[in-house]
Structure formats: structure tokens, C-alpha cells
Amino acid sequence: MKHLTVLLVFIMLMNKLLAQNVPDAAKNQKIISDSIYIAEIETPKQKPKVLHAEPLYVDLIRDLGARKGEKEWNIGMGITDNNRYDAYTALVEYEFAPMDRWGFEVELPFSFYYPSGSNDRTKTPDSRLNSIKLATQYTFLVSDHANTSLAIGYIHEFELISFRNYGKGAPFNGQLYNPFLVAAKRWGTNYHTLIYTGPAIHHPKDHVATTSWELHTNFHYMISGTRNFIGVEFNKNFQKNDFDMTIRPQMRVSIADNFMVGIVTGIPIRRENQRFSSFIRVIYEPGHKAIRHAYHPIP
């Protein structure tokens, strides 16, 4: 994981160094190529849509400004190093847009826990299918002039009991309510910023509900003429007098036109219980129309 972080920093520095040494003609060709590529995404034949880089860890419910018929499968796998145990996570997620600017999502997130070293297994959380997660998102503003999109959304999770308690009672163990707001802007052709925020209301079965506040800020650099990017998420959570933040350097690479892989490293700013983590997201877009990649490296 440390090596991955170093690799991301190295790529960013190399890209900046190369950009400083590209001849003016090459820079002009790069700008033209980016413009052509963005025009392909934001084609005026349909409702306006701005190309934004979507974060990989706290991802969106379909693209901002989604168009009718868009759909996407995600498979995610991760590992988190805690003080007393290791947590392995997995998710299966399906996103679709039944109409312009509306996105819906169904997700099944899993967690598996194993004690680390000689720690007592009885103090390790139970493995489970965490919840049945349903979500929707509506992009209420798309400004192609300002390269800005604004969206509201809502996530509802039906939390489930652990695997070992199946058959011992009701399967549902609580609910989570999470309305949110998303604001995204593209600066020029390569730089992207995004803010995701909202309250998370956790209501365990037979217990009083508690509220925390999420604020996730993101910065990405999208490689010219592609959907590949490098960037970072700052995932922040506020609850009463407690504040937690995890920094997540990340990169996304297109394997094929409709198939991408994202790699994320998690670095908590305070190691109270959680230490380093890593996460991989595999993204498949069935029926995705091929886009002409206008950019070609200049010798």
C-alpha cells in the first residue's frame, strides 16, 4: 500500500514535469484533442451533460447529468488493517438511469472479519451481508457554460443481522437514512473537483437513532483524451465531539471502452482503531457506446 501511494505521487510529478517540457505545438494538439474528447461526451444531440471525474470510494449514484438508458455494474473488494482484526469487504452494485438526470442504485455490501495475530476471536465483529442498499440521485443543475453540475440524492439501507444469527429472528437489524448533496466542477479540460455532503442517520433496531455528518471533498486530474485519472478523496465524518478523516489517493484505468479498474489506498489521519486500507473497484458499463479517442501521444 505504501508502494502504491509512492507510485501515485511519482505519476503526478512525472506528468507535471513532462507537461513543462512539451513544445507549444504539442500542447496545442493536446488541448484540441481534449476538446474533441469532451465534445464526444457532452454531445448536444442529447440533454446537456458535463464530464466529471467520479470518486472511487464514495461513488455516485450514476454519473451527474445521467442520460436515459445508462447503466453500470460495479464489483468492489477491499481490506482494512485494524488494531485487533482485519476487515475484508466486498460489494456488488448495479446503477441505472431510467430517465434523463435520474440515477438509481441497488448495492449488496459484505464484511468479513478475522482476528489479527493472537487476538481473541470473540472480540472480532461477526461477518455479515451488511445491508440491502437502495439509492437514487437527481441532477437538478447542469451548466455546460460553467462546467458545473449539482445533484441531490438519498440512500436508504436496511441493515441485516450477522451470518451466524440467520434463522434466529428477524433478518433486519436497523436502518440508515442518508440524504446528500453533490456539487462538481471541471476546471478547464483536465482538473476536476467534487463535494459530497449530508447527514447519516443510523437507527439500530430497539435503540435510539444517532446522527453523524459526512463531508467528502475530491480532487482529480483526468489524463488527456481518456477517462483515466489520478486523484484523492478526503473522506470526513463528524459526530458530536468526534472527527475522523481518511485520505484516499486513487487512480482509474480503462482496460476497454466499457471496462475500467480503480485502485484506492486509505490513510487515516488518526490511527485510533483503523490503520491502512486498500480497495479495488471493477467497473463495467454494458452497452456503452465506443467513444473516439482523439488524443494520441505526440512523439
Amino acid identity for residue 158 in this structure: F
**SS3 state of residue 225:** coil
pLDDT value for 299: 31
Residues contacting 188, CB < 8 A, separation 6+: none
- Report, in angstroms and rounded to the nearest whole number, the Rg of the chain calculated over CA atoms: 21
pLDDT value for 26: 47
Pairing mode, if any, of strands 229-239 and 210-222?
antiparallel
Instruction: Check if the beta carbon of residue 156 is closer than 8 Å to that of residue 137.
Output: no
User: Alpha-carbon distance 261 to 283, whole Å?
Assistant: 6
User: Alpha-carbon distance 119 to 116, whole Å?
Assistant: 6
Cross-strand bridge partners of residue 74: 93, 283
Condensed to tens digits (0 to 9), the pLDDT of residues 127-138 reads 999 999 999 999
**What's the chain's length in residues?**
299
pTM > 0.75? yes
pLDDT along the chain (299 residues), means of 10: 48 48 49 56 74 96 94 96 88 97 97 80 86 98 96 97 88 95 96 98 91 97 92 94 92 93 93 82 82 36
Instruction: Check if the beta carbon of residue 202 is closer than 8 Å to that of residue 212.
Output: yes
Question: What are the structural domain ranges in the chain?
Answer: 2-284
Q: Sign of the CA dihedral 268, 136, 46, 256? A: positive
Instruction: Check if the beta carbon of residue 260 is closer than 8 Å to that of residue 35.
Output: no
User: Alpha-carbon distance 24 to 291, whole Å?
Assistant: 27
**CATH for 2-284?**
2.40.160.40
pLDDT value for 124: 87
pLDDT value for 37: 59
